[in-house]
Amino acid sequence: MAHLATVGRRLPLTMTLAGFILALSVVTRTLWDPLATQPIRAHTTYGLPALEDGAWWTTFTGMFFAIQPYQHIPILLGLVVFGGFAEWRLGWARAGLALLICHTAAVLGSALLLWATRNHGYVWTTGLSQVRDAGPSAGFLGAAAAASVTLRPPWRGRLRAALVVYVVLFVVYMGALADLEHVIGVAVGLVLGPFLVARRPHLSWRSLTRRDYRLFASIFFVIAALEGLIQPFSTVEGPLAVTQSAAAQAEELAGRDLAAGLVQAVLWLWLARSLYKGRRRAWRWAVGLLVVVIGIQVANVVYMAVVGEPGLVAIGFDVVLNTFGLAILIVGRHAFRNPSPRRARRTTGSLMAPADEQQRQHAVSLLQRAGTVNNLAWMTTSPENRWFEDDISDGYIAYRVHAGVAIGLCDPIAATRQARSALLASFADAVHAAGLVPCLFTVTREASQNASLQGWHTLQVAEEAVISLPDLQFVGRSWQDVRTALNQASRLGIDLRFGPLQEQPRGVQMQVKAISSEWVEDRGLPEMGFTLGGVDEALDPQVLVALAVDADQTVHGLTSWMPIYPPEGGMPIGWTLDVMRRLPGGFRYSMEFLISATCLTLKERGCSIASLSGAPLARTVGPDEGLDRGTLDSFLDRLGETLEPYYGFRSLHAFKSKFQPRTEPLFLVFPDEAALPRIGLALSRAYLPEAGVRDLVALMRHGGHDSRAHGASRAG
């Protein structure tokens, strides 16, 4: 109800118009009786007959009525959706002006066109010149087209394309007066939009990319599918079909079958989806089908021309459209070279091909040699990753594939900023070529800036907590909790053991595994992966583990630390916190003790920084410096709130503030806002790859319950 109240306050004009139309339909009885049977018909229906009768005011009074009772449903829904969108983006005054201008232009423009073309042998316009209409549909469609100017690419182009395809398909295959008005209303709205925001309209052109060719080919077959679904319901009265003979019209109507239309639509939609992914086999099928169809249509055109049968305009329209689709496929044939997913997994060098230990060791060597600007970069060496390399940059990008998204981890690994930027561009090109969506997760400000220069969007997803070690001293009131932890550990005889876990006695290793297993079982969900480490990652010989061990050799808690290599490569200059586990019922201040004692040890070894990493899905919201916030932002917030009782991410984020760290933002970068829902799904699958339906149901059902267990950490 609160959301409805907010919408009502933001859309006063839309809500008022919708309420007025509904109330008026009840008062005039047009909600259940056709308008044609009411005495007010002559004063509330517009069109060329009304203007010739001198009833010019019907242009405006007709906005508030519907010809048939059932038409109130699409009118009210369309007014709320399209008119509401326009008012939300433009404000009530400009949206109202756009609605009025587009409606008036559509009604008067249609009347003028019909007056000029009637009684010249064109049955369609002659018939429409005698028809009256009512309703505001042309106005709110035009207003939505005008409001599209406020959207950023690619949403602006997609909304405009959807509106244009809708009005053109319906005027061609349905051919009603309202459909003609819709075409004019949308056209006027597209021209009017820039003026409403004090901007001159202009057309721009750029070279088509591989992705553009795929998108156009996909849209072509989506339109073909929509045609197959619309045709069984059309009346063969549109501007093209009326050029056919009466026998041809009757034959076409009799031959239309909804089942056949559904089969055709399914086939075209399959081709559209596969072409969007750049599948080579789908391209061959599409080209072959179009060649056959065009050949049959051309032969039919020749036959009709020889025998003099009417209908050349109608079939010629289909030939032109199919030829256009075939031209897109042939000119853009380089964009459709991806094998099927099954074959891609068997292809060496494919983005879908599984990686091996040799590739991992090569990535480790590159990271140690080139270094990194991202303190969390050691996670890019995880065996679950794949690694992308190009022929130019001596580096790599680690990534995982989920839900059709190639999720890159951290910044590109390369020696220079220019090389890292070039590697990002190569990765994006290769991922697009494979029919996947690229993105990079938990990258630094440098990578987000490089991505922005390449036209990508950025979204902050976490904050990294970094401690400067050279000047670290636990002095002052703000460090009281840390000093208490160190003093309590000393009093209880708990010492720090710091080194590779593999070098610890087997009994200690077994305790560590038991603590981790109990931690997972306590949550009732699988252990999270992706940017969150576990015991397997802690067993890496190049990862150090801090253990809180008492005199009885009981492990009360553990933390693991990943190496940080400087940008120029060489020995680690610091370490990043990864796994955090505490023995239930053990030393209360285990985590405070382990982190503070480890920082002191690293300081003694000459390290300059200790990163406490970033809590996944948790951050301090502040000024965004112009960064884009989008759908995924609210998705991450909801996911973080749901997982908080189980994994304590946000509690962990607050816990790290005890160590007085400085914070560095971590970002998600992605090229297309339209892919945000898919990226959100991919991230959820990456974090919970082993979760089944039962796990997810339990997560959503109990997401609000409290949990006493402490969270785990790696970068958000």
Provide the 10 A C-beta neighbour count for residue 42. Answer: 13
pLDDT of amino acid 279? 83
Domain-terminating residue out of 338, 360, 384: 338
Distance, in Å, from the CA atom of 568 to the CA atom of 566, rounded to the nearest integer, reads 5
Q: 149 with 110: CB under 8 angstroms?
A: no
Question: Strand 386-388 and strand 609-611: pairing?
Answer: unpaired
Q: In angstroms, how far is CA 90 from the centroid of its own chain? A: 24
Same domain, 301 and 325: yes
Same domain, 665 and 532: yes
pLDDT of amino acid 500? 92
Q: Is 548 helix (H, G, I), strand (E, B) or coil?
A: strand
Same domain, 485 and 620: yes
Same domain, 296 and 369: no
Same domain, 454 and 500: yes
The CATH number of residue 103's host domain is: 1.20.1540.10
Amino acid at 701: R
Distance, in Å, from the CA atom of 104 to the CA atom of 98, rounded to the nearest integer, reads 10
Residues of the chain with pLDDT under 70: 1-5, 121, 153-154, 204-207, 209, 231-238, 240-258, 310-314, 338-350, 352, 519-529, 615-654, 689-716
DSSP per-residue codes, 651-693: HHHHHGGGG--EEEEEEEEES-GGGHHHHHHHHHHHHSTT--H
Distance, in Å, from the CA atom of 595 to the CA atom of 490, rounded to the nearest integer, reads 15
Domain-terminating residue out of 308, 338, 368: 338
Domain annotation covers residue 145: yes
Distance, in Å, from the CA atom of 286 to the CA atom of 328, rounded to the nearest integer, reads 11
Same domain, 352 and 332: no
Among 682, 692, 637, 652, CA closest to 524: 692
* Kind plus residue range of the DSSP H or E element containing 188: helix 177-196
Number of domains within the chain: 3
Domain annotation covers residue 575: yes
Same domain, 435 and 421: yes
Q: Which two tokens stand for residue 483?
A: 């000093």
The CATH number of residue 652's host domain is: 3.40.630.30
Q: Which two tokens stand for residue 284?
A: 């061959």
Same domain, 127 and 235: no
Same domain, 349 and 289: no
Question: Strand 555-564 and strand 457-468: pairing?
Answer: unpaired
Distance, in Å, from the CA atom of 602 to the CA atom of 609, rounded to the nearest integer, reads 8
Q: How far is CA 96 from CA 11, 28, 99, 201, in A?
A: 11, 25, 5, 20
Distance, in Å, from the CA atom of 82 to the CA atom of 347, rounded to the nearest integer, reads 47
* Cβ partners under 8 Å of residue 125, min gap 6: 113, 114, 117, 118, 239
Same domain, 86 and 231: no
Distance, in Å, from the CA atom of 475 to the CA atom of 271, rounded to the nearest integer, reads 67
Strands (DSSP E) along 491-597, which ranges? 495-500, 544-549, 555-564, 574-582
Same domain, 182 and 224: no
Domain annotation covers residue 604: yes
As a whole number of angstroms, the longest Cα–Cα distance in the chain is 107
Domain annotation covers residue 229: yes
Residue with tokens 């065009």, as numbered in its chain = 294
pLDDT of amino acid 461? 83
Among 319, 318, 413, CA closest to 366: 413
Domain annotation covers residue 427: yes
139, 145, 148, 149 alpha-carbon torsion, rounded to 10°: -100
Domain-terminating residue out of 296, 323, 338: 338
Distance, in Å, from the CA atom of 556 to the CA atom of 549, rounded to the nearest integer, reads 6
For the chain, the residue count is 716
pLDDT of amino acid 348? 47
Among 632, 634, 639, 656, CA closest to 714: 656
Same domain, 352 and 291: no
Q: 422 with 393: CB under 8 angstroms?
A: yes
* Kind plus residue range of the DSSP H or E element containing 644: helix 631-647
DSSP per-residue codes, 327-382: HHHHHTGGG--BPPHHHHHTSTT-TTSPP-HHHHHHHHHHHHHH--S-TTGGGGG-
Provide the 10 A C-beta neighbour count for residue 359. Answer: 17
Domain annotation covers residue 207: no
Among 203, 209, 82, CA closest to 146: 82
pLDDT of amino acid 520? 62
Question: Strand 437-443 and strand 662-670: pairing?
Answer: antiparallel
Could you tell me the residue range of the domain that residue 676 belongs to?
A: 344-716
Q: 670 with 679: CB under 8 angstroms?
A: yes
pTM summary value: 0.65
Domain annotation covers residue 451: yes
